[in-house]
Chains A and B, each alone.
Chain A
Amino acid sequence: MTTASSADHPTRRDFLFVATGAAATVGGAAALWPFISQMNPDASTIAAGAPIEVDLTPVAEGQDIKVFWRGKPIYISHRTKKQIDEARAVNVASLPDPQSDEARVKSGHEQWLVVIGICTHLGCIPIAHEGNYDGFFCPCHGSQYDSSGRIRQGPAPANLPVPPYQFVSDTKIQIG
């Protein structure tokens, strides 16, 4: 029957075949996009992820609260003098993920530590005020974070991340 060699205008025929194949490929690929894009967060989820404000007045020294932002727990610790001093005394270069305490808090508000409470190992929630470093202890595989939320011991590779936030007043922060 039809074999590619029997044509009298092989180039024209080839061009047609290639163009059709290319159109089918491009169309198919473009049609895939909506099917992938729909998996992303939808508009209401994005809107619900807007910044939140947290009033710090009720949090006494030595206490901490947990708030949720974008489905993630955020620890807000009102640190004691002892905790701050411990966090600042350590030799930064010796840490697994070197970062100074100054870089992790807002200057003028050193008593407030705000971190995302998700263990950087595999996502469990560390417990505050536990472990050997006056900070956080993750019960899943034993990672220990210090009073600045930095990893000190255990399998987690990185410090607890600091979410974007700023102080809108001395007693109020906006996260996000």
Chain B
Amino acid sequence: MSGPSDYQPSNPALQWIERRLPIMGLIHSSFVVYPTPRNLNYWWTFGAILSFMLGIQILTGVILAMHYTPHADLAFKSVELIVRDVNYGWLLRNMHAVGASMFFVAVYVHMFRGLYYGSYKEPREVLWILGVIIYLLMMATGFMGYVLPWGQMSFWGATVITNLFSAIPYVGESIVTLLWGGYSVGNPTLNRFFSLHYLLPFLIAGVVVLHVWALHVAGQNNPDGVEPKTEKDTVPFTPHATIKDGFGVACFLLLYAWFIFYMPNYLGDADNYIPANPGVTPPHIVPEWYYLPFYAILRSIPNKLAGVIGMFSAIIILCFLPWLDNAKTRSSKYRPLAKQFFWIFVAVCILLGYLGAQPPEGIYVIAGRILTFCYFAYFLIVLPLLSRIETPRPVPNSIADAVLAKTGSKSTPMVSTAIVLALGGALFASSIDSARASEGNDKPPGNKWSFAGPVGKYDRGALQRGLKVYKEVCANCHGLSYIAFRNLAEAGGPGYSVAQAAAFASDYKIKDGPNDTGDMFERPGRPADYFPSPFPNEQAARAANGGAAPPDLSLITKARSYGRGFPWFIVDFFTQYQEQGPDYVAAVLQGFEDKAPEGVTIPEGSYYNKYFPGHAIKMPKPLSDGQVTYDDGSPATVAQYSKDVTTFLMWTAEPHMEARKRLGLQVFIFLIIFAGLMYFTKRKVWADAH
């Protein structure tokens, strides 16, 4: 994309095409001989990582759309069926859901890199603004994608975000109705979000082409911020940049795979495993992590319209960055003051993100206001001021000089600063969190689960006993509607044979019909049938249970969680702790106490439970010692029952967990070898350039 190419293929057929459509010349000049500054560091590989992630998201998204049903009554179930029944459906869904987060991780690194090295400055203003447009499109796409599973967070996130537009004076309400296609978020909303969620990525791809085009016209910026002058300053894109980007992608894949195979729900919200319910709002609405800083800004401004304006201007202000900061020196490497403020700004963004996830009360509100001020002050006060008062350090004459000067001192100040800042931010955050922990919530005790950790497997005995407990106790009130009898014989499950599963199924009476005469009839269950629900509909369930419908248990261990708090959620990332749900379920089953403690009053028809939020649970104590007879000699105690049935319910929520972890191990072994090979290849390729 940098001027006409003199590329001439040798093959006559290719020559024939090239004369009519010089596409190979375009590729050759853009991605092969294109001169790349030779001092680029690894922060520059995030451009390639982003292209890669866009490709992955489009590919997995198109495939998920083959199996997904965009209908308010069916969407939630269709996502579950993708995960349970489609070949590798769990993998594709995890890739897409985690991929969205990874895409944002990469885009934030990419943007902060641009900020640090002044990549938005003349002559790259249009390049930068195109990037901001891509970012905005990504946010819209991510938001609409999050609505599609039609869980509680999907539904209420859609409600809250669309209601932002109601802040617009005079026309706000009409705009919101227009967005919804109804009087509230409903099926029309879901349908149009699906359509747009499919469309926007292709718009993103289009703007990415413009972004790359602009990049290839202006040339890449580099860590020293001096333009390449001679041949010595650059290396050809292929193989140098290609292999380096490839290595960057391979390393990024390791992080990506960590989430896909071991922590698929770490970045999601447990509430989204509860089907959308327009009548109940989750107590604590949180958007996906990548919107949190802006959500914090929205909430910290105590006026509806001003809050919305504040939130949107926090993004729009990025477009004006090239003119707000008109310092001549590009790279913060040579700007001692700008460098420090940059890191403070990074910390401000991270802390805003942390606040966005906290309830809007007390100290969080005040902290949010201070940080919101800091956020805008960075752009409106600090950067304009710095460009006037700061004396930058001398910039090297050329890139070649900078590279020569660097050999010898291999220190990477950027990384160490990042670590120091992360620690500082963490400390600050932990002080906030400990202030909150004193409220005295009973956290469910941890358990030793056989399925925990990177090689965890279900305990077959526990699964079979848990099935018995479910069948004899829980099934009286709770459905298990995503589990078919055939699942009992599937690999990674309770380990029954096909014949055993069929026999188990035939014990059940399944309603079927209508028959030839138009009547419904009952017949014995077949392997393909699903566990029948104890109540014909939600109203009946409600009426029979004192007003609270017993939830379906298929997903309960993923739909329940509790706040781990700081620093545990960071520790959990490394230890792969994923068992909040099972720990909570097991704790609730054992948390009943006959008498509420002093000072706690439990309303009529409710029971005291130590671990249930609010302590008043409508379910009477379900399990007592000796209630279920075990054939294998396991103790017939409440503790054992709870553990077994929780294990069983973990399996019903994650029937392919064993396959996931097994494939994960293989993928990791491959990726580590591959990244190693890429690294050494990269070293060889770059040997002459350094």
Contact = CB atoms under 8 A, between A and B. Distances in A.
B677 A47 contact: no
A17 B484 contact: no
B672 to A, nearest CB: 11
B363 interface: no
A23 B677 contact: yes
Interface stretch (A30-38, A126-134, A136-144): A30-38
Contacts of A11: none
Nearest to B239: A2
B484 A44 contact: yes
A44 B528 contact: yes
B21 interface: no
B87 A40 contact: yes
Contacts, number: 81
A27 B673 CA distance: 11
Interface in B469-503: 484, 486, 490
A40 B87 CA distance: 7
B527 A42 contact: no
Contacts of B59: 35
A34 B677 contact: no
A16 B92 contact: no
Interface string B82-95: 00111111011000
- Kindly name the residue among B86, B484, B486, B670 whose own CB sees the greatest number of chain A CB atoms within 10 A: B86
Contact of A42 (B85, B236, B528): B85
A33 B667 CA distance: 13
A52 B66 CA distance: 28
Contacts of A174: none
Contacts of A43: 84-86, 486, 490
A38 B684 CA distance: 39
Given A13-B684, A16-B680, A47 B89 contact: no
A34 B85 contact: no
Given A23-B673, A34-B92, A44-B81, A2 B688 contact: yes
A48 B680 contact: no
Contacts of B540: none
A48 to B, nearest CB: 6
Given A19-B677, A34-B91, A47 B684 contact: no
B91 A48 contact: no
Contacts of A40: 87
A2 B687 contact: yes
B450 interface: no
B335 interface: no
Nearest to B56: A31
B235 interface: yes
A30 B496 CA distance: 31
B528 A17 contact: no
Interface string B175-197: 00000000000000000000000
A108 to B, nearest CB: 27
B87 A38 contact: yes
A17 B92 contact: no
10 contacts: A1-B688, A2-B685, A13-B684, A20-B680, A34-B87, A37-B88, A38-B88, A42-B81, A44-B81, A50-B527
Interface of A: 1-2, 6-7, 13, 16-17, 19-20, 23-24, 27, 30, 33-35, 37-40, 42-45, 47-48, 50, 58
Given A2-B689, A7-B684, A48-B528, 19 more contacts: A1-B688, A1-B689, A2-B239, A2-B686, A6-B688, A35-B63, A35-B92, A37-B87, A38-B87, A38-B88, A38-B89, A38-B92, A42-B89, A43-B85, A43-B490, A44-B484, A45-B85, A47-B527, A50-B527
- List the 8 shortest-distance A-B pairs measured between CB atoms, nearest first: A34-B88, A47-B528, A43-B85, A42-B85, A20-B677, A37-B87, A42-B86, A20-B681
Interface of B: 59, 63, 66-67, 81, 84-89, 91-92, 235-236, 239-240, 246, 484, 486, 490, 516, 526-528, 670, 673-674, 677-678, 680-681, 684-689
